[in-house]
A and B are shown apart, each in its own frame.
Chain A
Amino acid sequence: MPDHYSNNTYDVIVIGAGSIGCPTALALAKVGLRVLVLDQYPSVGQGSNKKAIGGIRATHSDAAKISLCQRSIEIFSTWKEEYGDEIEWVRGGYCFVAYHESEKNKLKTLLDVQKRFHLNIDWLPKEGLLELIPDLNPTGLLGGTYSPDDGSASPLLAIHAFYRQSIALGVAYHFRQTVTALTIDNGRITGVQTETDQFSAPIVVNAAGAWSGRLNAMTGESIPVMPDSHESGVTEAVERFFFPMIVDIAPHPGSANIYFYQHHTGQIFFCMTPDPNIWGFDCEETSSFLPMVSKRMISLMPKLKNIRVRRTWRGLYPMTPDGAPFIGWSNKIEGLFYAVGMCGQGFMLGPGVGELIARVITRQADLQDGKILDLLSPYRAFAGQEQLK
Chain B
Amino acid sequence: MIDNHITSHPILVIPERIPIDFYWNDEPFTSFEGEPISSALLANGIRVFGHHHKDGAPLGIFCANGQCAQCMVVADNKPVKACVEPIRHGMKIFPMDGLPRLPQVDTHHMTFDPQEVSTPVLIIGGGPAGLSAAIELAGQGIPTLLVDDKPRLGGKLVLQTHRFFGSTEAVYAGTRGIDIAARLEQQTRSMEPITIWTQSTAIAVYSDKRVGVMRGDDYVLVTPEIILIATGAREKSLAFPGNTLPGVYGAGAFQTLVNRDLVRPAKKVFIVGGGNVGLIAGYHALQAGIEVVGLVEALPECGGYRVHRDKLARLGVPILESHTVVSANGSESVESITITEVDTHFQIIQGTQKTFACDTILIAVGLSPIDEFYQKAMAYGIPAYIAGDAEEIAEASAAIFSGKITGRQIVTAYIGNKVAIPDDWYITSERLRSKPGRTYPLYDVDIRDGVFPVIHCRQEIPCDPCVGLCSKNLIQLTGPDILSVPKFISPDASCIGCGQCVIGCPGLAITLVDSRKDTDFPTVTIPYEFERESLHPGDRVVVTDAGGAVLGVTNVIKVLSNSRNNHTNLIQVKAPRDDAAKIAGVQIIDPSSTPHLDPMDNRRDDDEIICRCERVTINAIREKICQGYTDLNEIKAITRAGMGACGSKTCNPLIMKLLSEAGIGKDKITDGTIRPLFIEIPLGKFAPDHMGDLDA
Contact for A299 among B79, B111, B113, B645, CB less than 8 A: B111
Q: Chain B: which residue is nearest A236 at the CB level?
A: B680
Within 8 Å of chain B (Cβ to Cβ): is A196?
Answer: no
Cβ-defined partner of A43 (8 Å) among B79, B206, B634 = B634
Within the complex, what minimum Cβ distance (angstroms) separates B283 from chain A?
A: 37
B473 proximal to A (CB < 8 A): no
Q: How far is the CA of A266 from the CA of B100 in the complex (A)?
A: 10
Judge whether B629 is part of the interface by a CB distance below 8 angstroms: yes
Tell me whether B107 and A43 are in contact (CB under 8 A). Answer: no
Proximity string of chain A (44-66) to chain B, C-beta cutoff 8 Å, 1 when within and 0 when not: 11100010000000000000000
Interface residue ranges of B188-224 to A (CB < 8 Å): 204, 206-208, 210, 212, 219, 221
**A287 contact set on B, CB distance < 8 A:** 204, 206, 208, 210, 212, 221
Stretch with Cβ within 8 A of B (4 or more), from A106-114, A204-212, A288-296, A344-352: A288-296
In the complex, A312 Cα to B686 Cα: how many Å? 13
- Of residues 663 through 696 on chain B, the ones whose CB sits less than 8 Å from some CB of chain A are 670, 675-677, 680-684, 686-687
Q: Which residues in A have their C-beta under 8 angstroms from that of B101? A: 238-239, 241
Within 8 Å of chain A (Cβ to Cβ): is B540? no
Most buried by B among A241, A288, A293: A288
The interface bits of chain A over 288-320 (1 if a CB of B lies within 8 angstroms of the residue's CB, else 0) are 101101110111001111111111110000000
Q: Is there a chain A Cβ closer than 8 Å to B106's Cβ?
A: yes
B111-A45 in contact (CB<8A) = no
CA distance A334 to B410 in the complex (A): 60
Q: How far is the CA of A313 from the CA of B111 in the complex (A)?
A: 24
Residues of A within 8 A of B676 (CB): 285, 311-312
In the bound complex, residues from chain B placing their C-beta under 8 Å from that of A241 are: 101-102
User: A148 vs B689: C-alpha distance in the bound complex, in angstroms?
Assistant: 34
Known: A309-B677, A311-B677. A302 touches B204 (CB 8 A): no
A288 to B116, CA, bound (A): 12
Contact present for A285 and B207 (CB under 8 Å): yes
Considering the chains assembled together, what is the distance between the CA atoms of A293 and B682 in angstroms? 13
Proximity string of chain B (75-106) to chain A, C-beta cutoff 8 Å, 1 when within and 0 when not: 00011000000000000000000111111111
Q: Are B684 and A284 in contact (CB under 8 A)?
A: no
Whether A139 and B380, one on each chain, are in contact in the complex, defined by CB atoms closer than 8 angstroms, is no
Contact (Cβ within 8 A) A294 B683: yes
Q: Which residues of A have CB within 8 Å of B634? A: 42-46
CB neighbours of B17 from chain A (8 A): none
Complex Cα spacing A50 to B105, Å: 33
Minimum distance in angstroms from A269 CB to a CB of chain B: 12
Cβ–Cβ contact B680 & A284, under 8 A: no
Q: Which B residues are in CB contact (< 8 Å) with A139? A: 107
- Whole-angstrom distance between the alpha carbons of A306 and B637 in the complex? 27
Q: Does B69 contact A (CB under 8 A)?
A: yes
Interface centre among A43, A287, A312 (most CB of B within 10 A): A287
A137-B107 contact, Cβ under 8 Å, with A266-B99, A307-B683: yes
Whether A50 and B633, one on each chain, are in contact in the complex, defined by CB atoms closer than 8 angstroms, is yes
Q: Quote the shortest CB–CB distance from A319 to chain B (angstroms).
A: 21
Q: Which residues of B have CB within 8 Å of A282?
A: 207
Of chain A, the residue at the smallest CB distance from B684 is: A305
Residue among A139, A156, A157, A237 having the largest count of chain B Cβ atoms under 10 Å: A237
Q: Mark B49-76, 1 if CB is under 8 A from A, else 0.
A: 0000100000000000000010000000
State the CA gap A372–B680 with chains docked (Å). Answer: 44
**A291 close to B677 (CB less than 8 A):** no
Enumerate chain B residues within 8 angstroms of A311, measured Cβ to Cβ: 647, 675-677
C-alpha gap A357/B206 in the complex (Å): 40
B 399-411 binary contact with A (CB < 8 Å = 1; else 0): 0000000000000
For the complex, is B631 an interface residue (Cβ under 8 Å from A)? yes
Query: Which residues of chain A have C-beta atoms less than 8 A from B103's C-beta?
Result: 303, 306
Query: Is B114 an interface residue when CB atoms closer than 8 A count as contact?
Result: yes
Interface string of A130-155 (1 = CB under 8 A from B): 00000001110000000000000000
Rounded to whole angstroms, the CA-CA distance of A42 and B212 in the bound complex is 31
Determine if A219 is an interface residue (Cβ-Cβ < 8 Å): no
Interface contact A306-B675, CB-CB below 8 Å: no
Q: Flag if B683 contacts A297 (CB, 8 Å).
A: yes
Chain B's closest residue to A282 (CB) is: B207
B108 at the interface (CB under 8 A from A): yes
Q: Taking the nearest CB of chain A, how far is it from the CB of B295, in angstroms? A: 36
State A307–B684 Cα separation when bound (angstroms). 8
Docked pose: A44 CA to B624 CA in angstroms: 14
Contact of B682 among A50, A284, A309 (CB under 8 A): A309
Name which residue of chain B comes closest to A155, CB basis: B637
User: A235: which B residues are within 8 A, CB to CB?
Assistant: 680, 683
- Whether B14 is near chain A, meaning CB under 8 Å from some CB there, is no
A160 within 8 A of B: yes
A312 to B647 Cα, complex, angstroms = 11
Partner of A295 from B79, B111, B630 at Cβ < 8 Å? B111
A286:B683 contact, CB within 8 angstroms: no
- Nearest A residue to B207 via CB reads A284
Q: Are B102 and A302 in contact (CB under 8 A)?
A: no
- What is the CA–CA distance of A44 and B250 in the complex, to the nearest angstrom? 36
List 30 contacting pairs A-B, 8 Å CB cutoff, sorted by A: A43-B629, A45-B634, A137-B107, A160-B638, A237-B53, A237-B99, A239-B99, A239-B102, A266-B53, A266-B99, A284-B206, A285-B204, A286-B208, A287-B208, A288-B208, A291-B219, A294-B111, A294-B684, A295-B686, A298-B684, A302-B107, A302-B108, A306-B103, A306-B682, A307-B683, A308-B682, A309-B682, A311-B647, A311-B675, A313-B675
Q: Besides the contacts A290-B212, A291-B687, what 9 more A-B pairs have beta carbons closer than 8 Å? A: A238-B79, A241-B101, A284-B380, A285-B204, A294-B111, A294-B683, A298-B687, A303-B104, A311-B676
Question: CB within 8 Å of A: which residues of B?
Answer: 53, 69, 78-79, 98-108, 111, 113-114, 204, 206-208, 210, 212, 219, 221, 379-380, 629-631, 633-634, 637-638, 645, 647, 670, 675-677, 680-684, 686-687
